[in-house]
Structure 1
Amino acid sequence: MSSPLVPTAGQLAWQERGFGIFVHIGPNTFHGREWSDGTLDPRSFDPIALDARQWAETAREAGAAHVILTAKHHDGFCLWPTATTDYSVRSAPWRDGRGDVVGELAEACREVGIGLGLYLSPWDRHAPCYSDPDAYDRYYQRQLTELCTKYGPLAELWFDGAGSEGRRYDWDGVMAVIDRYQPDAMVFNMGRPTLRWVGNEDGLAADPCWYPADRTGVSLFEGEGRALDGVRYLPPECDVSIRRHWFWHPGEQHQVKSREHLLAIWYRSVGLGAGLLLNVPPDRSGRFDPVDRQRLLDFTGELRRRFAAPVAGELEPLPDGAAGGVRMRFGRPTELDHLELREELTTGQHIVRHEVRAPDGRLLASGGTVGVRRVHAFPRAVADTLEIRWSTAPSPDGTTELPALAGGLAQVRAFATGHEAVPALEPQPEFDFSRADEPERRRHA
């Protein structure tokens, strides 16, 4: 039996991919709402130029591995022609009531070669049966079964705890559906998760960025989180919107995050070993807003420029024979300002502290965990070698012996990007709670 602290092949592949695009669209888009209460007229949903191919092509151009769509948000409106409720695209004028947003996106993702993920909100503010937990569990599992059987392989199933504080769902039943129809899908945060929420909606991880966890966060409104049945390997996913809000609203182009702020988020999520899920909401036409799309591509284009040309070097053991260290030799004096470290994770996460020094002993970078990738920026240095040392925690079997290249690191890459520091986070506008039809209990939380 495999250890719960050792990643599966699917988890490692998800960690390597590192970056996905979130897509929020629904009746909220047409009413200036974020959390509507399930009473908005379904006939208002009419994105006359909806272009899922544009979403998928943009995601691929940005370097994203998958797109995750809000198939059902908290309002209960379904973006596919479900048999479980009339509160869906069947009742909308879009495509004359015969449309299927999930289906169009699934086809587009297949065509461009990226994965599809789906968000199915457990909290449903429209379903009359929500007040009956047993009935709603059956209803929810029928919806999940439709999504898991009609649209091909799913890269990720995303379960949001917002609005569900204190509510118990039949997660065993949910997982039975997933195990039967989508066993390879990553499961975000709820049920029997393979990924966990980082704990904020700013897109930010922290150092140390631990993969082993014994609980998952539920929402911004429940601080305790949900205890698991033990410590498990659960890499964090950092979700954040390119705008202040999750759905598109007119007149908010000035709230689109700057390229520098998006870079700052990347260094503090992907650059710390987490995954990043960046929301880009389509506008009322059903296409990405040109401002949002261009900002996304400017951001990811700059990432590509910075990390396109790694400086070649060879790893060798340290002269003192220390197990927790390597020397990176370039063969000639080389200009550097970034370093990417990658930990060997097939036996789990072990490195708890590390440092990088120049040949004269000067400290260039240091930190805690490494994980799937750790990106350091530092003042320009010219060196023919670097010395990297680390310390480790015991492996799941109680030893510290790691079957890895150079003893714990799978790869080291150096770069000369022309940038010597991680960009600063910029002040962001406050969330507009007037756009959320909140339950009374939430207003006073």
Structure 2
Amino acid sequence: MKKPYFILALLFCSVCCFAQQYTIPVPKPHQLKWHEAEMGAVFHYDLHVFDGIRYGQGNNRINPIEDYNIFNPTELNTDQWVQAAKAAGCKFAVLTATHETGFGLWQSDVNPYCLKAVKWRDGKGDIVRDFVNSCHKYGLQPGIYIGIRWNSLLGIHNFKAEGEGDFARNRQAWYKRLCEKMVTELCTRYGDLYMIWFDGGADDPHGDGPDVEPIVNKYQPNCLFYHNVDRADFRWGGSENGTVEYPCWSTFPYPYSHSNATEPNKNHGELLKHGDKDGKYWVPAMADTPLRGANGRHEWFWEPDDEDNIYPLDVLIHKYENSVGRNATLILGLTPDPNGLIPTGDALRLKEMGDEINRRFSSPIAQTSGQKKILTLKLDKMQPVNYCIMQENIKNGERIRQYKIEAKVNGKWKTISNGESVGHKRIEKFEPIETNMLRLTVMKSIAPPDIINFSAYNSR
């Protein structure tokens, strides 16, 4: 009598397991904001900007600045910083509230090594406050970057207090508490934040790292968290050249971005670059690069004699097309100078970049959308086309696994591009072709395609 019920139970469990196995990961609401932003800026500012010499990361991590009163940006204007980023097309901006010197750019009550200690503005300056206010004024989402992995003043190297025995252990415990208190200040004083970015991560809260994730969750529940050994709301894309490899999936095999000792992965470098189309977690890619990266330079902070090392416009557009156009979010590193301003040449190049992106992609020749495997795009006449853009409705996950784009030429369909991942945005560039009709065919997908944008451009 019990046998039919037993068989039904087994069938029910099998169906449930099947459904769980094929559940498609989707982004959380704050991760959707990450995709929709597409491009942001990070502003690096610290004591050594004022020392007049080239920055050396190795030295900066171990040698404290002798005189912190060299910090004296007499023309500091965070409005100008944010306007420069907005001109490029950035939708968010991040400020290094503290970096490897340990010096804080706010009025900290727990870290005495901060703007309270300097003569500038009579010790009452708060650049974090100024920066957040400027972001709100010009419509950018504000984020804060917190560097706790290194602190040259306190002798913290790779999260660890130098020394041995009780002396080191006590300092380590004190430093962890200090970091937690600083994070609490930054999370509670400046309103809603778009992102908290821990430089080099925040390590393992059960080891040398502070327990910062609960603080961010409590005070900034809608904020992007990047990152510790347990969680990353996005991942580094494997390089600092402003591009990602293709394909670039938003899904990942685990919810953190860097190797966890309990789950080592020999192919971690490739995972960062490409993601994992079968991954269970939504951990999309970041592509970051300093604006001053030409001619062999790679400068996140302002340094003397770098005016000729701003990336040319064509290089920046290449980076945009191979980051945003490959389902990643691009972050540009910008460098306020000792006066407290984004240099004129940098600001001009950022505006050129924004203008060129708008010229190429703001006005499609034609556009369509649909929840089907074949979308046809009819143009109003025969004309050259050299770009197509595709976007999935990622609220329903990444569904497309293989596609091709064809153009009708002399009455016949000709394949002009094909690929794998689409995600939030895929920009396909190809040699200009004269056509009056384009066709997108999804040849493989894990669920019915949900394409919110298939558009064509002539941007020669």
**Under TM normalisation by the shorter chain, which class is it?**
0.7 to 0.9
Q: Note the C-alpha offset of 1:112.
A: 1.4
Alignment partner, residue 92 of structure 2: 66
Q: Hey, what does 2:417 align to over in structure 1?
A: 365
Distance in structure 1 (CA, Å) of the matches to 2:107 and 2:367: 55
Larger fraction in helix: 2
The aligned runs of 1:80-99 (5 Å cut-off) are 80-99=106-125
Question: Which SS does the other structure have where 2:332 is aligned?
Answer: strand
Match of 2:33 in 1: 13
Other-structure match for 2:55: 33
Following superposition, the deviation at residue 42 of structure 1 comes to 1.6
State the alpha-carbon separation in 2 of the partners of residues 338 and 95 from structure 1: 51
Residue 189 of structure 2 is aligned to residue 155 of structure 1: no
Partners of 2:458 and 2:29 in 1: CA distance: 32
* 1:83 alignment partner AA: D
Instruction: Give the alignment partner of residue 44 of structure 2, picking from 15, 21, 24.
Output: 24
* 2:146 and 2:197 in contact (8 A); partners too: yes
- In the other structure, the counterpart of 1:351 is 400
When the two chains are superposed, the root-mean-square deviation of aligned CA atoms in Å is 2.8
What displacement does 1:163 show? 10
Deviations 1:29-49 (A, max 9, x none): 123325313611321111111
Q: Residue 42 of structure 2 contacts residue 93 of structure 2 at CA under 8 Å; is this kept in 1? A: yes
Tell me the residue number matched to 2:334: 280
Asked whether the equivalents of residues 250 and 327 of structure 2 are also in contact (C-alpha less than 8 Å), the reply is: no
Match of 2:212 in 1: 174
Contact 1:5–1:232 (CA under 8 A) maintained in structure 2 = yes
CA distance in 1, matches of 2:369, 2:305: 52
Aligned residue type for 1:370: V
Q: Match for residue 249 of structure 1?
A: 303
- 1:4/1:154 CA distance change after superposition, 3 Å: farther
Q: Deviations along 1:110-156, whole A, 9 cap, x unmatched? A: 11121110000131323367524433222111100100001111011
Larger Rg: 2
Is the 8 Å Cα contact of residues 23 and 67 (structure 1) preserved in structure 2? yes
Superposition map of 1:295-310 within 5 A: 295-310=349-364
- 1:242/1:256 contact within 8 Å kept: yes
| Structure-1 residue corresponding to 2:283 | 234
- Give the Cα separation in 1 of the matches to 2:420 and 2:128: 41
* CA–CA distance in structure 2, aligned partners of residues 162 and 188 of structure 1: 7
Equivalent residue for 1:193, pick from 232, 235, 247: 232
Return 5+ residue gaps in structure 2 as ranges: 1-19, 162-168, 260-265, 273-278, 293-297
Question: One-letter code of the match for 2:329?
Answer: G
Give the deviation of 1:245 after TM superposition: 0.7
2:223 maps to amino acid: A
Q: For residue 411 of structure 1, report the CA deviation from its aligned partner.
A: 1.0
Cα gap change, 1:8 to 1:415, in 2 (>3 Å): same
How far off its partner does 1:170 sit?
4.6
- Does the C-alpha gap of structure 1 residues 212 and 224 become closer, same or farther in structure 2, counting only changes over 3 Å? closer
Query: Residue 302 of structure 2 contacts residue 336 of structure 2 at CA under 8 Å; is this kept in 1?
Result: yes
Measured in 2, the distance between the counterparts of 1:212 and 1:354 equals: 19
Amino acid in the other structure paired with 2:127? V
Report how far residue 365 of structure 1 moved: 1.5
* Residues 146-198 of structure 1 deviation map (CA, whole Å, 9 limit, x = unaligned): 00001111011112227969994556x31111111101111124352211111
Question: Post-superposition shift, 1:56?
Answer: 1.4
The secondary structure found in structure 2 opposite 1:309 is coil
Distance, in Å, in 2 between the alignment partners of 1:234 and 1:63 is 23
Q: Distance in 2 between matches of 1:54 and 1:315?
A: 39
Task: Select 1:386's aligned residue among 438, 441, 448.
Answer: 438
1:314/1:182 Cα in 2 relative to 1: closer, same or farther (>3 Å)? closer
Which of 108, 115, 127 is 2:154 aligned to? 127
After superposition, the Cα gap between the structure-2 partners of 1:368 and 1:264, relative to the gap in structure 1 and judged at 3 Å, is same
Contact 1:217–1:223 (8 Å) recurs in 2? no
Question: Take 1:201 and 1:12, find their aligned partners in 2: how far apart are those partners?
Answer: 23
Structure 1 residues 163, 10: closer, same or farther in 2, change over 3 A? closer
Residues 261, 163 of structure 1: alpha-carbon distance in 2 compared, 3 angstrom cutoff: farther
Shift of 1:308: 2.3
- For 1:256, the aligned partner's letter is I
Deviations 1:225-254 (Å, cap 9, x if unpaired)?
799xx8310111111100121100010111
Distance 1:314 1:333, change over 3 A: farther
Q: Aligned partners of 2:268 and 2:326: how far apart in 1?
A: 24
Q: Report the Cα offset of residue 338 of structure 1.
A: 0.9
Q: Distance in 1 between matches of 2:360 and 2:334?
A: 23
Instruction: Tell me the equivalent position of 2:82.
Output: 56
Distance (Å, rounded) in 1 between the aligned partners of 2:203 and 2:55: 19
1:141 matches 2:180: yes
Q: Given the alignment, which residue of 341, 344, 347 partners 1:290?
A: 344
Measure the CA separation in 1 of the matches of 2:173 and 2:280. 29
How far residue 25 of structure 1 moved from its aligned partner, in angstroms, is 0.7
TM-score by length of 2: 0.80
How many equivalent pairs are there? 398
1:443 alignment partner in structure 2: none
| Aligned 8 A contact 2:98 2:147 in 1 | yes
Match of 2:242 among 203, 206, 210: 203
Amino acid at match of 2:42: F
The answer for the alignment partner of 1:216 in structure 2 is 257
Counterpart AA for 2:257: T
* Runs of 4+ with >6 A deviation: 162-167
AA of the residue aligned to 2:213: M
User: Residue 5 and residue 69 in structure 1: after superposition, are their counterparts in 2 closer, same or farther (change >3 A)?
Assistant: same
> CA offsets per residue over residues 46-105 of structure 1, 9 Å max, x none?
111111111112222222111100111122111111122221111122212111110111
- Answer whether contact 2:234 2:257 (CA < 8 A) is retained: no
